[in-house]
Amino acid sequence: MGKAKLTFEKALEALERIVSEIEAGKVPLEESIDKYAQGVKLVERCREILDSAEAKIQLLAKGKGNALEEAGELTDEDVEAPSDPSRD
Protein backbone atom coordinates (compact mmCIF):
# COMPACT_ATOMS: atom_id res chain seq x y z
CA MET A 1 0.00 0.00 0.00
CA GLY A 2 1.24 3.50 -0.71
CA LYS A 3 0.29 4.87 2.71
CA ALA A 4 2.93 7.05 4.33
CA LYS A 5 4.26 5.62 7.59
CA LEU A 6 2.70 6.97 10.74
CA THR A 7 4.60 9.56 12.73
CA PHE A 8 5.50 8.63 16.26
CA GLU A 9 2.88 11.01 17.58
CA LYS A 10 0.06 9.48 15.52
CA ALA A 11 1.11 5.91 16.23
CA LEU A 12 1.24 6.52 19.98
CA GLU A 13 -2.14 8.25 19.93
CA ALA A 14 -3.76 5.38 18.01
CA LEU A 15 -2.21 2.81 20.34
CA GLU A 16 -3.49 4.59 23.45
CA ARG A 17 -6.92 4.79 21.91
CA ILE A 18 -7.05 1.06 21.17
CA VAL A 19 -5.90 0.13 24.66
CA SER A 20 -8.53 2.43 26.23
CA GLU A 21 -11.29 0.97 24.08
CA ILE A 22 -10.43 -2.61 24.91
CA GLU A 23 -10.02 -1.84 28.61
CA ALA A 24 -13.42 -0.13 28.64
CA GLY A 25 -14.80 -3.62 27.99
CA LYS A 26 -17.40 -2.74 25.41
CA VAL A 27 -15.63 -4.43 22.50
CA PRO A 28 -16.85 -7.93 21.54
CA LEU A 29 -14.29 -10.74 21.77
CA GLU A 30 -13.61 -11.26 18.07
CA GLU A 31 -13.17 -7.52 17.45
CA SER A 32 -10.81 -7.42 20.43
CA ILE A 33 -8.53 -9.82 18.62
CA ASP A 34 -8.59 -7.59 15.52
CA LYS A 35 -7.74 -4.55 17.59
CA TYR A 36 -5.02 -6.52 19.33
CA ALA A 37 -3.45 -7.19 15.93
CA GLN A 38 -3.62 -3.48 15.06
CA GLY A 39 -2.15 -2.60 18.44
CA VAL A 40 0.79 -4.92 17.94
CA LYS A 41 1.55 -3.27 14.59
CA LEU A 42 1.44 0.18 16.22
CA VAL A 43 3.80 -0.98 18.97
CA GLU A 44 6.22 -2.15 16.31
CA ARG A 45 6.04 1.18 14.49
CA CYS A 46 6.72 3.12 17.70
CA ARG A 47 9.68 0.92 18.53
CA GLU A 48 10.99 1.27 14.99
CA ILE A 49 11.11 5.05 15.33
CA LEU A 50 12.50 5.02 18.86
CA ASP A 51 15.21 2.51 18.12
CA SER A 52 16.57 4.07 14.94
CA ALA A 53 20.11 5.14 15.63
CA GLU A 54 21.18 7.41 12.78
CA ALA A 55 22.72 10.08 15.02
CA LYS A 56 24.13 12.60 12.56
CA ILE A 57 23.90 16.36 12.10
CA GLN A 58 23.01 17.39 8.57
CA LEU A 59 24.51 20.67 7.39
CA LEU A 60 22.40 22.99 5.27
CA ALA A 61 23.44 25.89 3.08
CA LYS A 62 21.75 28.53 1.00
CA GLY A 63 21.23 27.19 -2.50
CA LYS A 64 19.54 28.52 -5.59
CA GLY A 65 17.11 31.30 -4.97
CA ASN A 66 16.42 31.21 -1.28
CA ALA A 67 15.96 27.48 -1.00
CA LEU A 68 18.15 25.45 1.31
CA GLU A 69 20.08 22.45 0.20
CA GLU A 70 22.00 19.72 2.00
CA ALA A 71 25.71 20.36 2.30
CA GLY A 72 27.27 17.35 3.96
CA GLU A 73 27.41 16.14 7.51
CA LEU A 74 28.88 17.83 10.53
CA THR A 75 31.74 15.57 11.52
CA ASP A 76 33.40 15.36 14.89
CA GLU A 77 36.45 17.22 13.62
CA ASP A 78 34.34 20.25 12.70
CA VAL A 79 33.23 20.69 16.25
CA GLU A 80 36.25 21.99 18.10
CA ALA A 81 37.19 20.78 21.56
CA PRO A 82 36.11 23.02 24.40
CA SER A 83 38.68 25.78 25.01
CA ASP A 84 37.23 26.61 28.38
CA PRO A 85 35.64 23.67 30.15
CA SER A 86 34.19 26.03 32.81
CA ARG A 87 32.08 27.82 30.23
CA ASP A 88 29.37 25.27 30.04
Partner 1 sequence: MSTKPLPFFDPQKARGPRETPDVGGKQPTSSSGPMSVTLLVSRIKQALADRFDQSIQVVGEISNFKRHSSGHLYFRLKDANAAIDAVMFKASAKKLKFQPTDGLEVVASGRVDVYEVRGQLQLYVEHLTPKGTGALELAFRQMREKLQGEGLFDPAKKKPICRFARAIGVVTSPTGAAIRDIRRTTQRRWPGMAVYLLPALVQGEGAAAQLAEAISLLDADAHRYGIDTIIVARGGGSIEDLWAFNEESVARAIFAARTPIISGVGHEVDVTISDLVADARAATPTAAAEMAVCDAAELRTQVDGLQERLSRTVQAKLEVSRRALTAVLRSVVYRDPTAAIRTPAQRLDELTHRLRAGMAGLLASQRRRVEPAANSLAALHPATLAERAHGRLARLEDRLAWVLGGLSKQAGQSLAVLERRLAAIHPRHRLRLARQHVSAADRQLQAMSYHSVLQRGFSVTRTADGKILRSTGQVHAGLRIETQLSDGKIRSTVDESHADSADGKENTDMKTKHRPRRTDTQQGNLFV
HSE-CB of 15 using CA atoms within 13 angstroms: 16
DSSP secondary-structure letter at 6?
P
Q: Of 10, 37, 36, give the one whose Cα is nearest residue 23.
A: 36
Query: Considering only residues 55-84, where is the footprint of partner 1 by CB under 8 A?
Result: 55-62, 66-68, 74, 78-80, 82
Please, which residue, 1 or 24, has the CB nearer to partner 1?
Answer: 24
Q: Does 9 bind partner 1 (CB under 8 A)?
A: yes
Q: Does 49 bind partner 1 (CB under 8 A)?
A: yes
Contacts of 27 (CB under 8 A, 6+ apart): 21, 35
Binding residues for partner 1 (CB under 8 A): 7-9, 12, 15-16, 18-19, 22-23, 29-30, 32-33, 36-37, 39-40, 43, 46-47, 49-62, 66-68, 74, 78-80, 82, 87-88
